Structure formats: structure tokens, C-alpha cells
Amino acid sequence: MSPDAPIGVFDSGVGGLTVLKALVTQLPRERFVYLGDTARLPYGTKSPQTVVRYALQAAEALADYGLKCLVLACNTASAVGLAAVSERIRDVPVIGVIEPGAEAACLASRSGHIAVIATEGTVRGGAYQDAIVRRRSDARVSAVPAQLFVALAEEGLCRGPIAESVARHYLEPLFNARAGGSRPDTLVLGCTHFPMLAEVIRAAAGPDVSIVDSAETTARYVRQTLESRNFAARHGEGSLRLLATDAADRFARIGGRFLERPIRPHEVELVDL
């Protein structure tokens, strides 16, 4: 395996660009190939069988680029498809976002009461809940689907009264002390889109709550994995190749906000899976 080989990053659409941004910050010399399955998103409301099938197709398409590592940036695909993809792509490390996010949450939480917000599919699959309890048997996990945040982030409604009211809708029942019992001290943003709404989420959860962004923690984990195997790129400037399965214009327009740099439509290559 050559340190010059690219890192593949897969997501259901543009959301994984938050993970890619964190990866580029951690690993600026790497070559990245990012695939967003824009023709078939959202994954968060689909059945596990369908998500696994889509994730396998995407992983195989990315493997053709001669990767040294594959990152499943999509929380839903990681939650239900990591085992199947790792089984299929055996020659390189396949890294999902759930385990690094769970690890960071367990480290951040003092009380052991951890809240997770994610898509319906991620919450239903129970992967965050399992990964947290496996690390901390005393943990109590309150997991809540927060599907509307996906649409808000894509619409660019990340601040203002609509975003604030949706954040209160999802988070007040979790963090309202009057609900009785213990209040979580840590909140995992278990979806690629949620870091875009971090400000309103933080305001609704309260200033004393630690927010865990699985994009940041996954990027650090990928760097450690590559360094421990001597796979990290040592020279070069790094590069980025963007692939999508549909709507290059929309990918560029919305993706630019997630990546925090403009994307021109002609930079996005359309591929068929």
C-alpha cells in the first residue's frame, strides 16, 4: 500500500463534506476522493437493507480508485453498513464515524448520561447506543431522531427563528431539568449535517453540555490510523476529487457551505453506481 494512494470518503450526499473538511484540516497532504450519493439521498429514512446495498455499491466504486483507506462519513451508512462494507473491502482500513464519536462522548461525559441526535435510521439501528455502552457500562444513552435538521442545513437555515424553534423542539425534552431524572451532560451530533447547526443546538441544549462532533473525532482517528501504519502522505500538497451520482449544480451550491469553500459545478464529476 502506497502512502501516495488516495483516501476515499463516502456519504449519502453533501453532508459528509463536514467530515471531509475536518479530514483536510487534519491531513492536508492527502489526496481525497469524495463520493456523495446525491441520486439516492436521504439514507436516514431508508431501511437498513437498502442503506447496506447502497453503501456496498458506493464502497466498490470508490475502491476502484486504489484507496489506502475508506471513510464512511455518513452516520446512517456507518451505523447499519460498516460491518458489510469492511467485509467486502478487506485490503484497506474502513473507518466509520460511530465508534470515534462514541469514544469521544464517553471521554467527555462525567455523569455517563449521554444524548445522541441523529437520523431516524441511525437511532433505530442502535449503533451509537451500543458503542457507548460497550465502552462505559454505567452509561445511560438518550437517543432522539432529529430529521428536520437535515433539511434545515441543506436549505441554509442554520440560524434564526426557524432553526431555533426546531432545536428547542428536539432538545428541550432532552435537556429540560423539569423533565425529572438526570439531565445528559454530553450531546453527540450523530449526523453529518448537524455541525452546521452547532450554534442553535448549543443554545438549546445549554452552555454546560459538552457537544461532540463526530466529524472532528473521526478525522483525528483516521490520522492516527494512517500514522500508526506508516500510510500517511509525507509530501505533496494534497488534492480533492469530488464525485456525485446526480445534480452537480446542487452539490456545488449546497456543498460549498458544508466544505466552507466555493465548489464550482464543473469540479463535480457525475458517476453511476
Binding site for ligand DGL (CB under 6 A): 11-13, 15, 41-44, 74-76, 119, 122, 150, 191-193
Active-site residue, 158 included:
no
Q: Between 1 and 148, name the residue whose CB sits nearer to ligand DGL.
A: 148
Q: Between 139 and 146, name the residue whose CB sits nearer to ligand DGL.
A: 146
CA distance 106 to 197: 22
Q: Where are the beta strands (DSSP E) in the chain?
A: 7-11, 31-36, 69-72, 94-96, 113-118, 140-145, 186-190, 210-213, 239-244, 268-270
Among all residues, whose Cβ is closest to ligand DGL? 44
CA of residue 109 relative to chain centroid, distance: 20
CB of 218 to ligand DGL, least distance (A): 11
CB of 214 to ligand DGL, least distance (A): 9
CB of 2 to ligand DGL, least distance (A): 29
Active-site residue, 191 included:
yes
Question: For residue 155, what are the contacts with CB-CB under 8 A and spacing of at least 6?
Answer: none
CA distance 250 to 214: 25
CB of 193 to ligand DGL, least distance (A): 6
Radius of gyration from C-alpha coordinates of the chain: 18
Q: Which residues are designated catalytic?
A: 74, 191
